[in-house]
Structure 1
């Protein structure tokens, strides 16, 4: 008998692709995807259950389906148009309900959290590369970084209460892919890129194939612990701008968030409220633990991920990249 896996947030493109990939694994008997709305595309062999993880219904789904592994992917940055309150409730309250359901279950033996490098925050005091043992130096008091800090704390509490469950936490860099919504992908879609004067932030990207692969490894094999996941190497914002053919708009660091938000709205675009500090100070992580302890070597570097992304998109009107919503 293989694993019976629950994947949260399956209406999102990333979670849908993860679900389909898991369903094709020989060590997985069945995959159940849960979300408040059905996915846009075909889930293949994945069973879809329409339910809200912010309610106790998720516990009934686990019991009825006989879930023994949970892959929690429904933790995401807020979208400018949807506001913070809904994202906060989905990220934090949703995680609490999923963990409560997993704790009540006698079958769950594996819990995988797709976290974010945003847990390290962003500040001028950051190390060159964050390791899993590092703490945030600043920038986690509001927005998605605050959410993800809370989410990880709840998952650690669950792990202490249920030590027999293998808990794997991935602190992932942003996936850069034309079809996967992400703050940096959406930022790069603008014809001009707001940039903070005097700063050239270091950026890291994660390839979609590597993201799907590490999740699959964690479900099929016992990989307990917390791991940074990113493509090796970094790119500077100036390099990205030059290769995309997108000029930057220099803006003063003081008031950068408000000024860049206005500029992006005038271009008809959108920018995540959680992105401004990254566009000033940048963020990069060390993936030695992923290689040495987890046992996974990313197939794509940050630069290779970016170049594949650049080749896949095509400039549209006003130079806007041809990206899906």
Structure 2
């Protein structure tokens, strides 16, 4: 295994999920790096025209990663670095049996293709913080070695737990392949379409009554920068990635200027669906636990071992989403602060 202190620039990089925000813009960043000889963008869907233009000299291969064609591409182009970012389909699509098949079978094919190809030396997986689940028994901060108290039984979190297992299995079978797993926190930004962004953009935001979940956000630009950093580096292992700081869900809703609607947990997903536009990324019941208990990551390894520091904090990410994301305030933040001051003053008078 190469010395981690002297990383080598990849020669030929293949990125799956090229039609998604994270996969496509990562391809664009890598293609702009003259030190990389060849960048291959893979997806079964053709990226948007503007995204395709940004990819520059990258070569687009239209193929389904669930099919043996991915192995032929990796071997034929003598790929040395594979970035499996196709799991970023979670940005927009509600989970289903078809999506589970795409995620799990696709990852199995990618791992099998890497195992058979002698040219592959690195595999990078875009995982998710959803693998930690969410429950009332969670620690204050999840480190990479902290097991989930209640592992997700369904949805993207379950898919990625299984996929991480396949990727680690590949690392054991091919010890000459460096395996890096990136677990980003909830990604938010003015351009990326995520279910969390769709949820927070609702004028009336249903929340679970009696709970105050703590949240962290990762800016879309920091998510891209982290994946680029990992691709160009040579750090092996699993890394949480998140912006600094924590915000409660109520604070986030008020900062945006929207109205909080506390409801029983069993009604959170149905009522959210009533408010959401048909074109929006839907909130599903699998996220109810997250919006009840929240999730906070320990990012010590990200800074000390990976050597990466996000440019945006959690609050700065939220503010940029508010400023450039097109969300219109229903109640101005100054009105919330004025109301809070009146409530505090009234409480003091009653003492």
Higher gyration radius (CA) = 2
> Whole-Å Cα distance in 1 between the matches of residues 271 and 101 of structure 2?
27
Is the contact made by 1:76 and 1:144 (CA closer than 8 Å) also made in structure 2? Answer: no
Label 1:85 to 1:260 Cα distance change in 2 as closer, same or farther (>3 A). Answer: same
> Whole-Å Cα distance in 2 between the matches of residues 112 and 98 of structure 1?
11
Label 1:82 to 1:314 Cα distance change in 2 as closer, same or farther (>3 A). Answer: closer
> Larger % of helix: which?
2
> Whole-Å Cα distance in 1 between the matches of residues 225 and 315 of structure 2?
19
Q: Which residue pairs with 1:6 in the alignment?
A: 14
> Whole-Å Cα distance in 2 between the matches of residues 2 and 151 of structure 1?
23
Q: Which residue pairs with 1:185 in the alignment?
A: 197
SS in 1 for 2:305: helix
Q: Return the offset for 1:87.
A: 1.2
Equivalent position to 2:283, from 272, 276, 280 = 272
Residue correspondence of structure 1 range 170-249 to structure 2 within 5 A: 170-249=182-261
What is the TM-score when the length of structure 1 is the normalising length? 0.92
1:146 is aligned to 2:154: no
- Aligned CA RMSD, in angstroms, stands at 2.2
> Whole-Å Cα distance in 2 between the matches of residues 226 and 167 of structure 1?
9
> Whole-Å Cα distance in 1 between the matches of residues 279 and 43 of structure 2?
29
Deviates more, 1:211-220 or 1:239-248: 211-220
Unaligned runs of 5+ in 1: 320-325
Is the contact made by 1:33 and 1:46 (CA closer than 8 Å) also made in structure 2? Answer: yes
Q: Return the offset for 1:163.
A: 1.1
Q: Which residue pairs with 1:48 in the alignment?
A: 60
Q: Which residue pairs with 2:270 in the alignment?
A: 259
Equivalent position to 2:140, from 128, 131, 134 = 128
> Whole-Å Cα distance in 1 between the matches of residues 93 and 180 of structure 2?
32
Q: Which residue pairs with 2:34 in the alignment?
A: 26
State how many pairs are aligned. 318
Q: Which residue pairs with 2:337 in the alignment?
A: none
Label 1:315 to 1:224 Cα distance change in 2 as closer, same or farther (>3 A). Answer: closer
SS in 1 for 2:120: coil
Q: Return the offset for 1:139.
A: 4.8
Q: Return the offset for 1:176.
A: 0.6
> Whole-Å Cα distance in 2 between the matches of residues 261 and 308 of structure 1?
23
Label 1:63 to 1:240 Cα distance change in 2 as closer, same or farther (>3 A). Answer: same
Label 1:296 to 1:315 Cα distance change in 2 as closer, same or farther (>3 A). Answer: closer
Equivalent position to 1:289, from 301, 306, 312 = 301
> Whole-Å Cα distance in 1 between the matches of residues 23 and 16 of structure 2?
7
Label 1:96 to 1:256 Cα distance change in 2 as closer, same or farther (>3 A). Answer: same
Label 1:243 to 1:77 Cα distance change in 2 as closer, same or farther (>3 A). Answer: same
> Whole-Å Cα distance in 1 between the matches of residues 80 and 156 of structure 2?
29
1:16 is aligned to 2:24: yes
What is the TM-score when the length of structure 2 is the normalising length? 0.85
Is the contact made by 2:91 and 2:193 (CA closer than 8 Å) also made in structure 1? Answer: no
Label 1:137 to 1:99 Cα distance change in 2 as closer, same or farther (>3 A). Answer: same
Q: Which residue pairs with 2:108 in the alignment?
A: 96
Deviant stretches of 4+, over 4 Å = 77-83, 265-270, 316-319
